[in-house]
Amino acid sequence: MKKIITLSLLLCTFLMAAQSSPGKHSIRLLNVNTKNADFGLNFYGKDKVIFASPTEKVAIVRRNWEGNDQPFLDLFIGDIDSTGQIINKQSLRGEVNRKYHEASVTFTKDLKTVYFSGNNYDEKGKAIKGRNGLSNIQLYKADVESNYIWSNVQKLEFNSDDFSTGLPTLDKEEKKLYFVSDRPGSIGKTDIWVVDILPDGTYSEPRNMGNRINTEEREMFPHIDDDNMLFFSSNGHAGFGNLDIFASKIYDNTVSEPINLGEPLNSPKDDFAYILRDETQGYFSSNRKEGKGDDDIYSFKVDEKIYIECLQTVRGVVRDRDTKELLPGALVAILDSEGNQLQITAASEDTAEYSFDVPCNSEYTIVGTNDGYLKLEKEVTTVNDLDAPAIVQNLDLESEFKLIGDEVLVNINVIYFDFDKHNIRPDAALELDKVIEVMNKYPDLKIHATSHTDSRGTKSYNQKLSERRAKSTVEYMIAKGIAPERLTSEGLGESQLVNKCSDGVKCSKEEHQLNRRTNFSVVKEEVEETVIE
C-alpha cells in the first residue's frame, strides 16, 4: 500500500506542476503617454520601440478622426531606459507617416523590413473608400534604412478596398504573418487571420484562426512570442469587460483554448496590445480610468513564464515476449530526454496496462521491469498538437535466462564481431550492459563467455582470434564493475559454426557474420536451479 501511495503522489505532483498558468502581473503607467491615444508598442531591436500616438500639427484645417475627435495617429520611435520607461520620443521619418492613420508594426529580426497598418491610399496619396464608405485599414510592407527611415512602402496583395486588414505580427521563424481583418469568412466583427510567407516573397491565401480564438465579437492585437504563444485581445471570450488580454498556444495543427491573463492586467475597460520583452516583462495598452488620457501604454512584470498545458497519453500493455502472457504488477517508468524519471506506475492487476499523460512535443524513454525479466527501454516522441490520439507502446519483456540444450544462457541478442576484429562494437556494448545488469541483480551469479569465429583463415589463427574476443568481452565487463572472479572465458575458434559455412563452402558476408559471436552461460549450479525454476 505504501508503494501505491508513493507512486500516486509522484503522478499527482507532476500533473499539478503541468497545469496552465497565466502568471501574476504587476503594472506601471509610463510617462511617455499624452492626453490622447498612445498605444500599440512594438520593439525595434533590444532597446528601442515603435508605437502609435497622435501628432499635433499646425495646419489651417486640423486633421481629426471622426471616431474620437483626436488627431490622426502617426508612428513614433523611442528608447527604453534602465527602468523600462520610454524616452527620446520622435516621429518616424520617410514615407511612413502620411495624412491619416498609421499604427501597429512588426519587424523582421534583421530590422530591414517592417509590416504596419494604415489607412487606404492611392498612388497620389488620396484616400480610397470601400463600399462601406470608409477608407479601410490596409496592411503595408516597407524597407527600413539604417537611420530609421522607411521607404518602398507597398500594400500587401491580400488587402481589399472593401474591408480592413491590419495589426500584424510575425512568428519566430518569420514564415507566418498574423493579422486582424473583418474580411468575408470572419466569424465575428473582427477576427485574427494568418498567411504563410512563401519562399518567393508572396503569400498564401489567408486562413481564419478558427472558433477557439475568434468569436462573434472582436479579436484584435495579436502578438506571437518565441514559444509560439499567441497573445490577443477579445471582448467575446469571458473576461472583466470590454477588451481583455488572452493567451493561447499555437501547435502544428491546433490551438489551445484561450486563458484570461487576469487582474490587474485586465480591467473593466479595454486592455490590449500585450507584448513581451522577455519571459517576465513587457508592455500593454489600456484606456482604464487611472491613465493620462484616452489609450495609454503601461509596462508590466509577471512573476512566472506564462504556460499553457498540452498533454498526450502514452499507454500500452506489459507482456512476456515469447508467451504473450500478461505481466500485471510490472513496473513502468517514463524518463525525459535527459534521463530524469518523470513518473512511475505498476501495470494494472487486471489487464497489465500502463498509462502516462506527458507534455506534448517531447522525447521520452519508457522503461519496463519485472522480476525474472530483462529491463526493456522504448523511445517515444509526443506530437506538437492538442487532442492527439494516444501513443500505444506495448512492452514485451524477455526472460533473463533461456535454456539451450543443457546450457542456461543470459537471454540477450547475440554479440557479434566484425571480420578479423575483437573490439566491442556499439551494438555489442548494449547487449553486454544487459549481462552486467543481470549480474548486478544476482550477486552470486557467475558467467562463462564463449567466443567464436567464422571459418575464414586457418584454424590456429581463428583459435587465437576467438580467445582475444572472449578476453575483450570479459575486460569490458570488468571495466563496468563486475568482479573478475565471477567471469571466465574461452575461445572455441571455428569449431562450433551455426550454419553450413565451413572451409570451402561459399557463403555470403551475412552468413559468415552469424558465426562471429560470443555467448554467456550461467556457471554456478545453485543459481542455475533458481533462475530456471
- 404-425: pLDDT as tens digits: 877 888 888 888 889 999 999 9
Rounded Cα gap, residues 27 and 4, in angstroms: 46
Identify the pLDDT of residue 72: 57
- Name 138's Cβ contacts closer than 8 Å, sequence gap at least 6: 117, 118, 119, 120, 155, 156, 159, 164, 165, 166
Identify the pLDDT of residue 382: 97
Sheet with 363-369, edge to edge strand ranges: 341-346, 331-335, 363-369, 376-381
Cα–Cα–Cα angle for 246, 250, 255, nearest 5°? 80
Cell of 253: 495543427
Q: Read off the amino acid at residue 380.
A: V
Q: Read off the amino acid at residue 399.
A: S
**Alpha-carbon torsion (380, 383, 384, 389), positive or negative:** negative
Cell of 217: 465579437
Identify the pLDDT of residue 4: 32
Question: Strands 395-397, 311-320: parallel, antiparallel or unpaired by DSSP?
Answer: parallel
Element (H, E) at 435: helix 426-441
* Bridge partners (DSSP) listed for residue 102: 118
Cell of 80: 527604453
Rounded Cα gap, residues 196 and 203, in angstroms: 6
**Beta-strand (E) ranges in 385-530?**
391-392, 395-397, 401-404, 407-410, 415-416, 447-451, 487-491, 517-522
Rounded Cα gap, residues 141 and 420, in angstroms: 67
| Tens of pLDDT, residue by residue, the chain (533 residues) | 223 323 333 333 344 445 788 889 999 999 999 888 888 888 988 889 988 886 554 322 223 334 444 445 678 889 999 999 999 988 876 555 554 445 678 999 999 999 988 888 777 777 788 888 887 889 999 998 877 788 888 999 999 999 999 999 999 999 999 999 999 999 999 999 999 999 999 999 999 999 999 999 999 999 999 999 999 999 999 999 899 999 999 999 999 999 999 999 999 999 999 999 988 899 999 999 988 878 899 999 999 889 899 999 999 999 999 999 999 999 999 999 999 999 999 999 999 999 999 999 999 999 999 999 999 999 999 999 999 999 999 999 999 888 887 788 888 888 888 999 999 999 999 989 989 999 998 998 999 999 999 999 999 999 999 999 999 999 999 999 999 999 999 999 999 999 999 998 999 999 999 999 998 899 855 444 444 44
Identify the pLDDT of residue 46: 85
**pLDDT, tens digit, 9 for 90 and up, residues 18-67:** 578 888 999 999 999 988 888 888 898 888 998 888 655 432 222 333 44
| Contact present, 367 and 434 (Cβ < 8 Å) | no
Identify the pLDDT of residue 525: 52
Rounded Cα gap, residues 370 and 440, in angstroms: 15
Identify the pLDDT of residue 134: 81
Q: Side-chain half-sphere of 438: how many Cα atoms within 13 Å?
A: 26
Residue written as grid cell 578476453: 471
Residue written as grid cell 499507454: 315
Identify the pLDDT of residue 96: 58
Nearest one of 297, 220, 407 to 41, comparing CA atoms: 297
**Beta-strand (E) ranges in 229-307?**
229-234, 244-249, 259-260, 271-278, 281-286, 296-302
| pTM for this model (two decimals) | 0.77
